[in-house]
Protein backbone atom coordinates (compact mmCIF):
# COMPACT_ATOMS: atom_id res chain seq x y z
CA UNK A 1 0.00 0.00 0.00
CA UNK A 2 1.03 3.61 -0.47
CA UNK A 3 1.29 5.85 2.58
CA UNK A 4 0.30 9.41 1.73
CA UNK A 5 -1.88 12.07 3.30
CA UNK A 6 -3.71 12.61 6.56
CA UNK A 7 -3.52 9.88 9.20
CA UNK A 8 -6.24 10.38 11.82
CA UNK A 9 -5.89 9.14 15.38
CA UNK A 10 -9.09 8.26 17.19
CA UNK A 11 -7.98 8.62 20.81
CA UNK A 12 -10.46 7.52 23.48
CA UNK A 13 -8.89 10.03 25.91
CA UNK A 14 -9.59 12.93 23.54
CA UNK A 15 -13.00 11.93 22.15
CA UNK A 16 -15.20 9.48 24.07
CA UNK A 17 -17.33 8.39 21.09
CA UNK A 18 -14.83 6.53 18.87
CA UNK A 19 -17.34 5.17 16.35
CA UNK A 20 -18.84 8.60 15.82
CA UNK A 21 -15.40 10.12 15.34
CA UNK A 22 -14.33 7.33 12.99
CA UNK A 23 -17.39 7.92 10.83
CA UNK A 24 -16.56 11.63 10.73
CA UNK A 25 -12.94 11.19 9.63
CA UNK A 26 -13.91 8.60 7.04
CA UNK A 27 -16.54 10.96 5.65
CA UNK A 28 -13.80 13.58 5.41
CA UNK A 29 -11.71 11.36 3.14
CA UNK A 30 -9.16 9.96 5.60
CA UNK A 31 -8.23 6.39 4.76
CA UNK A 32 -5.72 5.47 7.46
CA UNK A 33 -6.93 5.63 11.06
CA UNK A 34 -5.33 4.61 14.34
CA UNK A 35 -7.41 3.66 17.38
CA UNK A 36 -5.75 4.54 20.67
CA UNK A 37 -7.19 3.58 24.08
CA UNK A 38 -4.51 3.77 26.75
CA UNK A 39 -6.95 2.68 29.47
CA UNK A 40 -7.59 -0.61 27.67
CA UNK A 41 -8.73 -1.77 24.25
CA UNK A 42 -12.20 -3.24 23.74
CA UNK A 43 -11.70 -6.06 21.22
CA UNK A 44 -15.34 -6.09 20.15
CA UNK A 45 -15.16 -2.38 19.44
CA UNK A 46 -11.97 -2.89 17.45
CA UNK A 47 -13.77 -5.39 15.25
CA UNK A 48 -16.63 -2.93 14.71
CA UNK A 49 -14.27 -0.05 13.93
CA UNK A 50 -12.30 -2.22 11.52
CA UNK A 51 -15.42 -3.34 9.68
CA UNK A 52 -16.61 0.26 9.39
CA UNK A 53 -13.25 1.37 8.00
CA UNK A 54 -12.99 -1.51 5.54
CA UNK A 55 -16.47 -0.76 4.22
CA UNK A 56 -15.09 2.40 2.60
CA UNK A 57 -11.66 1.03 1.70
CA UNK A 58 -9.89 2.44 4.75
CA UNK A 59 -7.49 0.77 7.20
CA UNK A 60 -7.79 0.65 11.00
CA UNK A 61 -4.63 0.31 13.05
CA UNK A 62 -4.55 -0.38 16.80
CA UNK A 63 -2.12 1.37 19.12
CA UNK A 64 -0.13 -0.63 21.72
CA UNK A 65 -2.30 -3.78 22.03
CA UNK A 66 -0.81 -6.37 19.68
CA UNK A 67 -3.47 -8.99 20.32
CA UNK A 68 -6.26 -6.54 19.46
CA UNK A 69 -4.31 -5.42 16.40
CA UNK A 70 -4.49 -8.95 15.03
CA UNK A 71 -8.24 -8.36 14.65
CA UNK A 72 -7.64 -5.11 12.76
CA UNK A 73 -5.49 -3.97 9.83
CA UNK A 74 -2.31 -3.28 11.73
CA UNK A 75 -0.39 -2.37 14.86
CA UNK A 76 1.34 0.82 15.93
CA UNK A 77 4.01 0.29 18.57
CA UNK A 78 5.92 2.68 20.76
CA UNK A 79 9.51 1.92 21.63
CA UNK A 80 8.36 0.68 25.05
CA UNK A 81 6.01 -1.81 23.39
CA UNK A 82 8.93 -3.47 21.63
CA UNK A 83 11.05 -4.02 24.75
CA UNK A 84 11.66 -7.69 25.42
CA UNK A 85 10.20 -8.77 22.08
CA UNK A 86 11.79 -10.36 19.05
CA UNK A 87 10.67 -7.72 16.57
CA UNK A 88 11.19 -10.00 13.57
CA UNK A 89 8.76 -12.51 15.11
CA UNK A 90 6.22 -9.69 15.56
CA UNK A 91 6.59 -8.86 11.87
CA UNK A 92 5.89 -12.49 10.98
CA UNK A 93 2.91 -12.62 13.31
CA UNK A 94 1.36 -9.52 11.80
CA UNK A 95 1.65 -11.03 8.35
CA UNK A 96 0.40 -8.57 5.75
CA UNK A 97 -1.00 -6.22 8.38
CA UNK A 98 0.55 -2.76 8.74
CA UNK A 99 3.38 -2.43 11.27
CA UNK A 100 4.15 1.11 12.39
CA UNK A 101 6.70 2.16 15.01
CA UNK A 102 7.19 5.41 16.89
CA UNK A 103 10.78 6.47 16.23
CA UNK A 104 11.95 9.65 17.98
CA UNK A 105 15.37 9.42 16.33
CA UNK A 106 16.88 8.42 12.99
CA UNK A 107 18.75 5.58 14.71
CA UNK A 108 15.50 4.10 16.01
CA UNK A 109 13.91 4.52 12.59
CA UNK A 110 16.76 2.57 11.01
CA UNK A 111 16.22 -0.25 13.51
CA UNK A 112 12.50 -0.25 12.77
CA UNK A 113 13.24 -0.40 9.05
CA UNK A 114 15.56 -3.38 9.54
CA UNK A 115 12.85 -5.14 11.58
CA UNK A 116 10.35 -4.85 8.75
CA UNK A 117 8.24 -1.89 9.88
CA UNK A 118 6.02 -0.32 7.23
CA UNK A 119 6.37 3.25 8.46
CA UNK A 120 8.10 5.32 11.13
CA UNK A 121 6.06 7.67 13.31
CA UNK A 122 8.22 10.70 14.12
CA UNK A 123 7.62 13.58 16.50
CA UNK A 124 6.36 15.47 18.24
CA UNK A 125 6.43 17.87 15.32
CA UNK A 126 5.08 20.70 17.48
CA UNK A 127 4.02 21.14 21.09
CA UNK A 128 1.10 18.83 21.81
CA UNK A 129 -1.32 18.30 24.68
CA UNK A 130 -2.59 14.96 23.36
CA UNK A 131 0.29 12.92 24.80
CA UNK A 132 1.81 13.73 28.19
CA UNK A 133 5.15 12.04 27.54
CA UNK A 134 5.64 13.27 23.98
CA UNK A 135 8.86 15.17 24.72
CA UNK A 136 10.09 18.42 23.17
CA UNK A 137 9.04 19.40 19.67
CA UNK A 138 11.51 18.42 16.92
CA UNK A 139 10.06 20.59 14.16
CA UNK A 140 10.72 20.43 10.46
CA UNK A 141 14.44 19.69 10.75
CA UNK A 142 13.91 16.82 13.20
CA UNK A 143 11.44 15.12 10.88
CA UNK A 144 13.60 15.85 7.85
CA UNK A 145 16.59 14.14 9.49
CA UNK A 146 14.62 10.90 9.81
CA UNK A 147 13.23 11.20 6.27
CA UNK A 148 16.79 11.44 4.96
CA UNK A 149 18.01 8.48 7.02
CA UNK A 150 15.48 5.83 6.00
CA UNK A 151 13.58 4.60 2.99
CA UNK A 152 10.48 3.99 5.12
CA UNK A 153 7.55 6.38 4.80
CA UNK A 154 7.67 8.83 7.69
CA UNK A 155 4.52 9.87 9.53
CA UNK A 156 4.92 13.18 11.36
CA UNK A 157 2.90 13.46 14.55
CA UNK A 158 2.32 15.88 17.38
CA UNK A 159 0.61 19.26 17.44
CA UNK A 160 -0.19 19.20 13.72
CA UNK A 161 -2.94 21.48 12.45
CA UNK A 162 -3.88 23.53 9.39
CA UNK A 163 -1.44 26.29 10.33
CA UNK A 164 1.68 24.13 10.39
CA UNK A 165 0.65 21.51 7.82
CA UNK A 166 2.70 23.31 5.10
CA UNK A 167 5.83 22.82 7.23
CA UNK A 168 4.99 19.14 7.72
CA UNK A 169 4.69 18.70 3.95
CA UNK A 170 7.97 20.55 3.44
CA UNK A 171 9.74 18.18 5.84
CA UNK A 172 9.30 15.30 3.40
CA UNK A 173 6.95 13.36 5.66
CA UNK A 174 4.65 11.06 3.72
CA UNK A 175 1.78 11.51 6.13
CA UNK A 176 0.62 13.88 8.87
CA UNK A 177 -0.98 12.28 11.92
CA UNK A 178 -3.70 14.44 13.43
CA UNK A 179 -5.60 14.16 16.70
CA UNK A 180 -6.96 17.35 18.26
CA UNK A 181 -7.17 19.34 15.02
CA UNK A 182 -9.91 16.92 14.00
CA UNK A 183 -11.33 15.39 17.19
CA UNK A 184 -11.79 18.64 19.13
CA UNK A 185 -13.35 20.64 16.31
CA UNK A 186 -17.10 21.44 16.23
CA UNK A 187 -17.42 19.44 13.00
CA UNK A 188 -14.70 16.75 12.90
CA UNK A 189 -15.77 15.54 9.47
CA UNK A 190 -15.39 18.97 7.96
CA UNK A 191 -12.07 19.48 9.78
CA UNK A 192 -10.80 16.20 8.33
CA UNK A 193 -12.00 17.13 4.84
CA UNK A 194 -10.25 20.49 4.96
CA UNK A 195 -6.97 18.93 6.09
CA UNK A 196 -7.17 16.25 3.38
CA UNK A 197 -7.78 18.91 0.74
CA UNK A 198 -5.01 21.12 2.12
CA UNK A 199 -2.52 18.25 2.01
CA UNK A 200 -3.54 17.48 -1.56
CA UNK A 201 -2.84 21.06 -2.59
CA UNK A 202 0.48 21.08 -0.75
CA UNK A 203 1.67 17.84 -2.33
CA UNK A 204 0.46 18.45 -5.86
CA UNK A 205 -1.44 15.69 -7.61
CA UNK A 206 -0.86 13.00 -4.98
CA UNK A 207 -3.99 11.56 -3.44
CA UNK A 208 -4.27 13.01 0.06
CA UNK A 209 -6.50 10.84 2.17
CA UNK A 210 -5.81 7.47 0.59
CA UNK A 211 -2.95 5.25 1.74
Q: Which of 102, 130, 171, 210 is catalytic?
A: 102
Helix pair angle (18-27, 43-54), 10° resolution: 20
Q: Is 38 a catalytic residue?
A: no
Q: Which of 131, 144, 193, 200 is catalytic?
A: 131
Q: Which residues contact 179 (CB under 8 A, 6 or more apart)?
A: 8, 9, 11, 14, 128, 130
Q: Is 102 a catalytic residue?
A: yes
**Euclidean distance between CA atoms 4 and 55, whole angstroms:** 20
**Euclidean distance between CA atoms 44 and 164, whole angstroms:** 36
Helices (H), 59-187: 66-69, 79-82, 87-94, 106-114, 139-149, 165-170, 180-183
How many CA atoms within 13 Å lie on the side-chain side of 159? 17
**Euclidean distance between CA atoms 41 and 72, whole angstroms:** 12
Q: Which of 12, 36, 59, 97 is catalytic?
A: 36
Q: Is 93 a catalytic residue?
A: no
**Euclidean distance between CA atoms 64 and 34, whole angstroms:** 10
Enzyme catalytic residues = 36, 102, 131
Amino acid sequence: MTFEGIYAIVDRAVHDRPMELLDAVLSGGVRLVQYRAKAGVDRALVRELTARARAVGAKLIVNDDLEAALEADGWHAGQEDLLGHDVSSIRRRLGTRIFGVSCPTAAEALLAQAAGADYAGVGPFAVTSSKDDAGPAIGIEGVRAVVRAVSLPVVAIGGINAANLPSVAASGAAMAAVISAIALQPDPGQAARELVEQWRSLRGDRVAGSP
